[in-house]
């Protein structure tokens, strides 16, 4: 029986959902939302805060400052409340109302940016405001999830080893990309593992992470409007992009089976389905990482009027997700061939 004294000490690490009967492909979903912050971001938040404390960068009178679309902000709010720090989260108008209210309930200050910056869209505007805060008050400490190596180290030391213990015959791992902390930590770990693992990054259409022009993105979580500084594409075998309509379809398909997951998870599941549909999967062991649960998306992804207004009536039809557009596909495996082999993008 777990007994804890601070909320960040609890995180369910060993829960997986077998999605074969729901999505029609062999796929295990690693559930990362069962902690008091509600998402995988608790790991990165904890690692970054504790590292800053060890180095002396973070002191008792420090003011934590971070840019977040929601989940990391909630995680840092929880840790700041637990440790007694003041925390200012800089977010934008796409941040779910539930996330903003949760941060405020935990005692954090939330600043919402509504106008895009000259470069980098809303994210660029958020980062500019964070820099202004830090320049105006030397107590401010910006952990910078976009550039902080402790972001990916949290997943190198925790997320990837947990998957390796549960699936020693792992063939392919699907990871959603935002800051790319989860992606880089897992990819680095499995690069030196005892067998080859195909690393498939799942991104949102409209994100510039793997090139292309920026586009409208209304579902917070995955995707970036500037290239993530932590990204090293040599560790990524393939990248797929998922339309937000397919994210919504995937979320709602899972919900009809009783699993209420968040928008980031819907994107990862949809991307994994598209990839698996175009590859030979007999005997394949595939795992996807589910970053979040669905409670924070009740007023967006699961709100019929919101979906209808932004995406039209068709997305609400009870049909399987259309899958994803494979950007850098390796050679498909014909019947009788072995599962996919790891071939880094160079």
Percent above pLDDT 90 for the chain: 79
Q: What number is the average pLDDT over the span 223-234?
A: 93
> What does the pLDDT read at residue 120?
72
Lowest mean pLDDT among 22-31, 126-135, 145-154, 180-189: 126-135
CATH of domain 7-36+149-326: 3.40.50.1100
What fold does the segment set 41-142 form as a domain?
Rossmann fold (3.40.50)
pTM (whole model) above 0.95: no
Check pLDDT > 80 for residue 346: no
Q: What number is the average pLDDT over the span 37-62?
A: 96
Check pLDDT > 50 for residue 137: yes
**pLDDT level of residue 327 (50, 70, 90 thresholds):** low
> What does the pLDDT read at residue 58?
96
> What does the pLDDT read at residue 337?
33
SS3 assignment for the chain: CCCCCCHHHCECCCCEEECHHHHCCCCEEEECCCECCCECHHHHHHHHHHHHHHHCCCCCCCEEEEECCCHHHHHHHHHHHHHCCEEEEEEECCCCHHHHHHHHHCCCEEEEECCCCCCCHHHHHHHHHHHHHHHHCCCEEECCCCCCHHHHHHHHHHHHHHHHHHCCCCCEEEEECCCCHHHHHHHHHHHCCCCCCEEEEEEECCCCCCCCCCCCCCCCCCCCCCCCCCCCHHHCCEEEEECHHHHHHHHHHHHCCCCCECHHHHHHHHHHHHHHHCCCCCCCCEEEEECEECHHHCCCCCCHHHHHHHHCCHHHCCCCCCCCEECCCCCCCCCCCCCCCCCCCC
Check pLDDT > 80 for residue 313: yes
> What does the pLDDT read at residue 319?
62
Check pLDDT > 60 for residue 230: yes
> Same CATH topology for 7-36+149-326 and 41-142?
yes
> What does the pLDDT read at residue 124?
85
> What does the pLDDT read at residue 94?
82
Check pLDDT > 80 for residue 340: no
Q: What number is the average pLDDT over the span 179-202?
A: 97
Q: What number is the average pLDDT over the span 182-201?
A: 97
> What does the pLDDT read at residue 225?
85
> What does the pLDDT read at residue 334?
32
pLDDT per residue as tens digits for the range 93-124: 888 889 999 999 999 999 998 877 666 788 88
**Distance (Å, rounded) from C-alpha 321 to C-alpha 314?**
12
pLDDT per residue as tens digits for the range 239-285: 999 999 999 999 999 999 999 999 999 999 999 999 999 999 999 99
| In the chain, domain spans | 7-36+149-326, 41-142
Check pLDDT > 50 for residue 143: yes
Mean pLDDT of the chain: 90
């Amino acid at each position: 029986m777990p007994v804890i004294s601070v909320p960040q000490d609890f995180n369910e690490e060993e829960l997986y959902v077998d999605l074969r009967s729901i999505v029609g492909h062999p796929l295990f979903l690693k559930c990362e939302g069962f902690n008091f912050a509600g998402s995988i971001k608790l790991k990165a938040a904890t690692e970054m805060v504790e590292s800053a404390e060890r180095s002396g960068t973070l002191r008792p009178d420090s003011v934590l400052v971070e840019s977040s679309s929601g989940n990391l902000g909630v995680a840092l709010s929880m840790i700041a409340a637990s440790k007694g720090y003041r925390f200012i989260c800089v977010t934008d108008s796409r941040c779910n109302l539930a996330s903003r209210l949760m941060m405020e309930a935990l005692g954090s200050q939330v600043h919402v940016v509504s106008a895009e910056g000259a470069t980098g869209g809303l994210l660029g505007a958020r980062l500019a405001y964070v820099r202004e805060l830090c320049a105006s008050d030397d107590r401010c400490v910006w952990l910078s999830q976009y550039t902080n190596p402790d972001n990916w180290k949290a997943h190198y030391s925790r997320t990837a080893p947990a998957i390796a213990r549960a699936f020693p015959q792992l063939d392919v791992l699907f990871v959603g990309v935002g800051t790319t902390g989860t992606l880089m930590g897992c990819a680095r770990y499995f690069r030196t593992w005892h067998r080859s693992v195909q690393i498939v990054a799942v991104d949102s259409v409209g994100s510039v992470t793997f090139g292309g022009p920026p586009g409208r993105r209304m579902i917070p979580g995955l995707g970036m409007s500037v290239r993530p500084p932590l990204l090293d594409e040599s560790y990524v075998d393939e990248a797929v992009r998922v339309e937000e309509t397919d994210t919504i379809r995937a979320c709602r398909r899972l919900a009809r089976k009783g699993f209420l997951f968040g928008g980031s998870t819907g994107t990862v599941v949809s991307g994994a389905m598209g990839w698996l549909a175009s590859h030979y999967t007999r005997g394949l062991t595939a795992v996807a990482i589910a970053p979040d649960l669905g409670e924070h998306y009740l007023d967006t992804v699961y709100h019929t009027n919101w979906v209808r207004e932004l995406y039209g009536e068709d997305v609400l039809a009870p049909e399987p997700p259309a899958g994803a557009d494979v950007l850098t596909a390796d050679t498909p495996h014909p019947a009788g061939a072995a599962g996919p082999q790891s071939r880094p993008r160079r």
